[in-house]
Chain A
Amino acid sequence: MVFNMERRTTPFAKIYLIAIFIILYAPIFFLIFYSFNSGGTMSHFKGFTLEWYRSLLDDKRLLIIVLNTFAIALISALIATIVGVFGALAIYSFKKRQTKNTVLSLNNILIVSPDVIMGASFLILFTIAGIHLGFMSVLLSHIAFSIPIVVLLVLPKLNEMQPSLIDAAKDLGATEWQVLTRVIFPYITPGIFAGFFMALTYSLDDFAVTFFVTGNGFSTLSVEIYSLARRGISLNINALSTVLFLFTMILIVIYYFLQQRSHVKTMGVRK
């Protein structure tokens, strides 16, 4: 049963949400605004230009970097989610509270670790293991630091789940596998999606860890942008971010409306 579908959105709620969205998007619009600036910086708006966007078309290297970033983000989020879900299931299945808490604490160490330390220690690990620095090492690292957050977002859902559900299913003759796929997974799906998107966010945002473990020409957007800091970010980065941002928005809207249509077709059972 879903919470409160019937209660109308109060005007207060609407205003509050709008205010939050305005604040959330203010910097983004700031960046988009200046991506059209013919003056080179984000301070004085001199005039309108599309030159920054045009310069993107020529920059093959930047394109490869963007694609690298997406590939790493998607793949690491996928794998991290899978491993994380199993990890959450594992922690959930421990009977002793002590084991639970120990493993959970171990799980969270990477969240608390400063990126620099993670990056440095992973680098040492990879060097000892002789792993070639580049796509693989970055991917492994991103999976590594995304797993904890998936666990943290899936576990509460597992804990909330009433054991009676499982008992009922078993009583009705479900096998272990069916309990897993027909009862548990559907229940924790929101947690899984949350974990996936957080993992995506962690990956897209990361700079320090990626910087340390990358090599042989492999670079992500964050590393490139941070390296520009000493010299100043030129507005083609603004243009790039705008393009990526719009692209993401369009994807989301399309995805959502596709979803809506499929729901209408199945005559609205449960969401």
Chain B
Amino acid sequence: MKKLIRFFLVSALVSGIILYAISSLNQSEGYSSGNTLTIFNWGDYIDMDLVKQFEKETGIKIVYETFDSNEAMMTKIEQGGTSYDIAVPSEYMIDKMRQEDLLIPLNHNKLPNLQYIDDRFMDLPFDPDNKYSVPYFWGTVGITYNPTLLPNKEFKSWHDLWDPDLKNEIILIDGAREIIGMGLNSLGYSLNDTDPKHLAEAYNKLQKLTPNIKAIVGDENKLLMQNNEAAVAVLWSGDAADIMWENEDIDYVIPEEGSNLWFDNIVIPKTAKNVEAAHQFINFLLDPKIAAQNTEYVAYSTPNKEALKYMDPEMVQDERFYPSPELTDKLEVYENLGKKNLSIYNDLFLEFKMYRK
């Protein structure tokens, strides 16, 4: 009994010490002061030096939180509880949040740097006139492959994935829209298609792909491709860029039937407390030099046309990550299909995953 009590007392004491350390650290970092800006972003999706720079220039203290999925982020914002001033959802989520009245309209007068964004990426269906959001990073979905592991294999179209030689060689992203969309695209349909007949066709076609699939993973596909665990993967362009940085053999291609054009945009949720600072921060990020520095860190494609001038020309001229307008015209942005259709997509995808055995 004595041993118990002693143990508990020691633990309580240690906890007390840790708590004290936390509060004093928080104070020294200025987290308890008044003028704060709360940011909710993907993990490792900003150059933290820029955050510090912003704090120094404006005296505003930034509170930073991260999430790992759009839906998780939206659930948290919906529930209230925390007042995020800035969030960075993907485009389909912005559409949803817009419709559910979770966003504050942006005051473009406070965002003069908006002019530097490439017009191609403005006024898109998920947020007409960019009333609520500003593009942050964008990219495509395509095929990464390792030519040294697959000599004589070309990947020009989605159809090439169905090649029987590719048995157990392909990694797919764990995304219902991406995969069902891939099925639809390969049949020539739009990836926003909701026609049950077309969906059934796509599903059947996808089932035929099953023998070629090694795994359906989320973010780990980067790790796997880097390690040459698989020869082919369907990935987002941002991931592809990271992989190619580590493993120089790998190549990335956007299939010719078309594919998905995705965006991560910055929004101000309804529950924001410091709207003024939020605008300041957005404008700060839109500054071409700042955007250039951020892009060099994050390594995804920036929508900031002016920023391209300050970046490494090799990166900027790489058609794989900065495709020409002709190519981007062929790509589609996800539309919000509504809960019912989304549910159908997800059920199909779940069945597809289970089919594999």
Contacts and interface: CB of A to CB of B under 8 A. Distances in A.
Please say whether chains A and B are actual partners in one complex: yes
Interface of A: 39-43, 60-61, 63-64, 67-68, 70-71, 74-75, 77-78, 120, 123-124, 126-127, 132-133, 137, 181-182, 185-186, 189, 192-193, 211-212, 214-217, 219, 223-224, 226-232, 234
A132 B68 CA distance: 22
Contact of A217 (B4, B63, B81, B227): B63
A interface SS class: helix
Given A71-B22, A74-B18, A212-B75, A127 B80 contact: yes
Interface string B47-78: 00000000000000001111110001001100
A55 B324 CA distance: 39
A41 B83 CA distance: 35
A40 B245 CA distance: 10
A65 to B, nearest CB: 10
B242 A232 contact: yes
B3 A67 contact: no
Interface residues of B, number: 45
A197 B226 CA distance: 37
A127 B64 contact: no
Given A123-B81, A229-B68, A41 B18 contact: no
Interface in B238-273: 242, 246
Interface of B: 1, 3-4, 7-8, 11-12, 14-15, 18-19, 21-22, 25-26, 29, 31, 38, 42-45, 63-68, 72, 75-76, 79-83, 218-220, 222-223, 226-227, 242, 246
A230 B64 contact: no
Q: Which of A67, A132, A223 has the most CB of B within 10 A?
A: A67
Given A78-B12, A211-B67, A224 B43 contact: yes
B79 A227 contact: no
Nearest to B43: A227
B42 A192 contact: no
B63 A216 contact: yes
Contacts of A224: 43, 66
A127 B79 contact: yes
Given A63-B25, A230-B219, A232-B242, A216 B75 contact: no
A230 B137 CA distance: 14
Contacts of B12: 78
A64 B26 contact: yes
B67 A227 contact: yes
B4 A64 contact: no
A123 B79 contact: yes
Contacts of B45: 230-231
Contact of A212 (B18, B76, B83): B76
Nearest to A180: B1
A226 B68 contact: yes
